Amino acid sequence: MNAVQQYDVAVVGGGPAGACMAACLARAGVRVVLLERERFPRFHIGESLLPSCLPPLQRMGVELGRGNHVLKRGAAFFDERTGEHNYFGFDEALPGLPEFAYQVDRAVFDCELLDAARRAGATVREGTTVLQHDIDDSGVTLAIAPTPAGPGPDECLRGASRPALAREGTTAVRARYLVDASGRRGVSSRGGRELRSITGLGRVASFLHYGGLAESAWAELIERGEVRVLRIDDGWIWLIPLHDRRLSVGVVSRRQRLPDDELHATLAASPMLARLTAGASVTGVRHVGDYSYANLAARGARYVAIGDAAGFLDPVFSSGVAIALMSAERAAQTLLPVLHDAQALADPELMAPLSEATAVAYRSFHTIAHRFYNGRLIDNLLLASAPDQRMRAGLVSLLAGDVWRDDNRFQTAVLSATRHELPPTPWSSAP
Ligand SMILES: Cc1cc2nc3c(=O)[nH]c(=O)nc-3n(C[C@H](O)[C@H](O)[C@H](O)COP(=O)(O)OP(=O)(O)OC[C@H]3O[C@@H](n4cnc5c(N)ncnc54)[C@H](O)[C@@H]3O)c2cc1C
């Protein structure tokens, strides 16, 4: 190992959490380095944003309304077997957030966020893998190496492989504080050893993109740009319209990974999907499984994990990017005033308030996701018209990601009713 570069904060990972964290810190004049394993643009799943993403993005200087993304006005739920369906517009939510969000191509979106971090003054190093980190009394040392070319381990395509890292290219970076924003199997979870699986939700997602949709299908999909959730036996399908006449489609199964022929048969059995994708081209299938977990080591002396590195629940309510951005902003707010206070940085409880705030979000989404899979939420609320308009507004506020308000009666009722139903997690006891 040779030359050691010195920074105030090292951020591992350049997804939404890492880019937002780096931007917030750099904007305040902090010397921050962001180390990202991949070279962007790269594929990533997580295409449907919530309205609660927009304020943090705006503060980062990311303007999504420039034509690369689809305006999303709500969410719709269907059961084609019974003909039931229901649409929830974000304009029905309790007041406070924008009444829309976006459906984004993550390859493009993540570049936009990383550029915002650069503009704010962060040093961004793409193609740099963090191999190891060592925390000591005065800071953290990260061993880094150039990432070899080729698809990475997050590539969900079958057969993807990448050459091994060349250890001889290893150098070091030193910082006062470490932010783990490296997503699933993040660096602070010690290769996954600190992850607690969460059961009772979806287990495997298989997904692909359709391209070149017919004019009429495209017009229908972008009229409200909503995410469509189709209930099927043993799971559900998502439909997310993406820029350039593309449609992202995924099947989430509660059991096991679907073989490709079963997946295509499942998709072909949906009349809506068959109609919307008639004549369209289709990409290869990607799969991801066992994605519901909590990182039991998400905070400690001189480090914090944010976004997926801290935990992830389930794709059904599109909460991932919203929680990633929120936790990044709050972590930065906590860190900024104490960045030169060695004692505070070494306090393992420094980020306890962040954990409390994220626990509210995780528990809210966990509760409704758990009920989606195990209770009658979908029948009683998502496919039925809720009798009480105030309750409906509360539900839509949750669907919009507006989980930190104290006047949402629906949220209060749902959270207290299910307190003892959920499998134990680090956020089980959130207020
Ligand atoms: C099937 C599925 C569907 C989903 N759909 C949605 C959706 O519709 N809407 C939504 O909001 N969320 C969705 N999500 C969740 C969403 O993908 C994540 O919550 C979101 O990407 C988290 O952002 P992040 O910045 O924490 O992590 P990531 O976006 O995963 O970023 C982590 C980054 O760290 C880098 N990295 C990893 N290890 C290292 C290392 N050792 N050194 C350097 N860099 C490293 C990676 O290359 C990556 O770029 C979905 C998830 C799944 C599984």
Q: Tell me the per-residue pLDDT of 380-396, one tens digit each, with 9 for 90 and over.
A: 788 876 557 778 999 99
AA letter at 148:
P
* pLDDT above 70 as % of the chain: 93
* Average pLDDT of span 8-29: 98
∠ Cα 245 248 252 (to 5°): 165
pLDDT at 158 over 70: no
Which atom of ligand 1 is the closest one to the Cα of 186?
A: 38
* Average pLDDT of span 27-50: 96
Ligand 1 shell residues, CB under 6 Å: 12-18, 35-38, 44-49, 129-130, 154, 181-183, 187, 205, 250, 288, 291, 307-309, 312, 315, 318, 320-322, 324
Look at residue 272 in the predicted model and tell me its pLDDT: 98
Look at residue 344 in the predicted model and tell me its pLDDT: 98
Q: Tell me the per-residue pLDDT of 214-245, one tens digit each, with 9 for 90 and over.
A: 999 999 999 999 999 999 998 999 999 999 99
Which atom of ligand 1 is the closest one to the Cα of 227?
A: 8
* Average pLDDT of span 343-347: 98
For 102, phi then psi, to 5°, come to -135, 150
Mutate to test the pocket of ligand 1, among 38, 45, 156 (most ligand atoms within 8 A of CB): 45
How buried is residue 358: exposed, middle or buried, by Cβ count under 10 Å (0-12/13-18/19+)? buried
**Least confident segment among 217-226, 289-298, 321-330:** 289-298
pLDDT at 112 over 90: yes
pLDDT at 263 over 50: yes
Look at residue 43 in the predicted model and tell me its pLDDT: 92
Which atom of ligand 1 is the closest one to the Cα of 291?
A: 53
Is the domain spanning 1-73+97-202+289-431 CATH 3.50.50.60? The answer is yes
Look at residue 159 in the predicted model and tell me its pLDDT: 52
* Average pLDDT of span 115-119: 98
374 CA → ligand 1 middle, Å: 26
Which atom of ligand 1 is the closest one to the Cα of 205?
A: 1
396-399, long-range: CB < 8 A, 24+ apart: 396/74, 396/88, 396/89, 396/90, 396/92, 396/93, 396/94, 397/93, 397/94, 397/96, 397/97, 398/317, 398/364, 398/365, 398/368, 399/50, 399/74, 399/75, 399/88, 399/90, 399/93, 399/317
Q: Tell me the per-residue pLDDT of 168-221, one tens digit each, with 9 for 90 and over.
A: 679 999 999 999 999 987 888 887 788 999 988 988 999 999 999 999 999 999
Matching CATH number, 74-96+203-288, of 3.90.1150.10, 3.20.190.10, 1.10.3720.10, 3.30.9.100: 3.30.9.100
Nearest CA to ligand 1 atom 5: 46
Number of CB atoms found within 10 A of residue 67's CB: 8
Nearest CA to ligand 1 atom 37: 182
287 CA → ligand 1 middle, Å: 14
pLDDT at 1 over 60: no
What are 276's two structure tokens?
């919307």
* Average pLDDT of span 47-71: 95
Look at residue 163 in the predicted model and tell me its pLDDT: 60
Spatial separation of the C-alpha atoms in residues 129 and 146, rounded to whole Å = 6
**Least confident segment among 39-43, 142-146, 187-191, 367-371:** 187-191
∠ Cα 119 121 126 (to 5°): 80
185 CA → ligand 1 middle, Å: 10
Nearest CA to ligand 1 atom 2: 315
Look at residue 268 in the predicted model and tell me its pLDDT: 96
Tell me the pLDDT band of 139, cut-offs 50, 70 and 90. very high
Look at residue 155 in the predicted model and tell me its pLDDT: 46
Nearest CA to ligand 1 atom 52: 315
DSSP characters for 99-162?
A: S-EEE--HHHHHHHHHHHHHHHT-EEE-SEEEEEEEE-SS-EEEEEEEPPSS--TT--BTT---
Asked whether this chain's domains 1-73+97-202+289-431 and 74-96+203-288 adopt the same fold, the reply is no
Which atom of ligand 1 is the closest one to the Cα of 240?
A: 8
* Average pLDDT of span 69-89: 96
Look at residue 165 in the predicted model and tell me its pLDDT: 63
Tell me the pLDDT band of 126, cut-offs 50, 70 and 90. very high
Mutate to test the pocket of ligand 1, among 226, 318, 354, 358 (most ligand atoms within 8 A of CB): 318
Domain residue ranges of the chain, discontinuous segments joined by +: 1-73+97-202+289-431, 74-96+203-288
Q: What does pLDDT average to over the chain?
A: 91
* Average pLDDT of span 364-377: 88
* pLDDT above 90 as % of the chain: 77
pLDDT at 431 over 60: no
pLDDT at 54 over 60: yes
Tell me the pLDDT band of 166, cut-offs 50, 70 and 90. low
pLDDT at 346 over 90: yes
295 CA → ligand 1 middle, Å: 14
